[in-house]
Amino acid sequence: MEPQLFGGEHVLINTLAYDVRIGPWRLAHLRDVRRGDVVAFDHNAAGDREIYLKRVIGLPGDVLAFDRGSVVLNGQRLVESYAIRRDDTTLAPRVIGPHELYVLGDNRAESDDSRTFGAISESAVIGRAALIVWPPGRARPIR
């Protein structure tokens, strides 16, 4: 997520941004995940549970493709001021399934994201990344 976030920084996650949960049970839905949100989600890679932070690009029902590193969303090239160091990925269009999200890192050239592991389940989302809290000199809201 560079340059917005760097390894070793501590981030406040708003776990009430989208819903109220107790364990696996969702008690109340507060709002839908929006395109552009930076979300924290559970990612199980090779049996290891990790928390990833990525930007939501595709929502359920969206048609998403890549053309030489540019995101093509529902037939339109997506303008992304936050994306740096693009790569040259080209991928055929795919439809994001029900209850799925397509997430990408802002530093596309070095990001492990949905291009590698596929769309994530909405239920894997823990919350919205809200604020960098450490180190103090980098404390600020995440946009």
In Å, the largest CA–CA distance within the chain is: 43
pLDDT single digits (tens) 28-84: 888 999 999 999 998 876 667 788 899 999 999 999 999 988 899 999 998 888 777
**CATH class in words for 10-141:** mainly beta
CA separation (Å) from 20 to 75, 78, 100, 101, 128?
35, 31, 19, 19, 13
Q: In the numeric block, which tokens belong to residue 69?
A: 């590193």
What's the confidence (pLDDT) of residue 14? 92
Of all residues in the chain, the percent with pLDDT exceeding 90 is 43
Per-domain boundaries in the chain: 10-141
111 confidence band (pLDDT: 50, 70, 90): confident
